[in-house]
């Protein structure tokens, strides 16, 4: 399968997983805080870290395609602005800083697991 088809296939699955995960989290926790976006972004970061050592074809399918569609910086940015616009400035700041820090930590943790498994 060519590289672009791997990205398309992974993206199709990632987009659906993102949508379903966000809907499930919103149904359980409500819509006052963007927990669904936070969850998919952290899981995607961990998965990208985990995939650091796999073959190029798998990275195209899973990291670029699946995780690229699963995670979303634009939604994260919009939800941060929307929280602040509703007067929830501290939750917006916490979401922004917390998302970046947990995303970095998840990526490092995923990479550490990959080194342990594939080293």
pLDDT, tens digit, for every residue of 65-88? 999 999 999 999 999 999 999 999
Binding-site positions for Na(+): 68, 71
Q: How far is CA 33 from each of CA 12, 87, 108, 116, 118, rounded to the nearest angstrom? A: 26, 13, 25, 35, 37
Binding-site positions: 68, 71
- Which range of residues forms the domain containing residue 113? 3-118
Q: What is the model's pLDDT at position 27?
A: 98
pLDDT at 95 over 80: yes
Q: What is the model's pLDDT at position 119?
A: 66
pLDDT at 1 over 80: no
pLDDT at 17 over 90: yes
**Total domain count for the chain?**
1
């Amino acid at each position: 399968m060519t590289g672009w088809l791997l990205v398309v296939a992974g993206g199709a699955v990632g987009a659906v997983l993102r949508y379903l995960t966000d809907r499930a989290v919103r149904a359980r926790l409500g819509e006052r805080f963007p927990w669904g976006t936070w969850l998919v972004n952290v899981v995607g970061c961990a998965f990208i870290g985990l995939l650091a050592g796999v073959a190029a074809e798998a990275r195209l399918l899973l990291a670029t395609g699946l995780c690229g569609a699963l995670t979303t910086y634009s939604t994260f940015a919009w939800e941060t602005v929307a929280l602040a616009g509703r007067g929830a400035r501290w939750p917006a700041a916490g979401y922004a800083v917390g998302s970046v820090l947990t995303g970095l930590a998840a990526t490092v943790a995923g990479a550490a697991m990959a080194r342990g498994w594939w080293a």
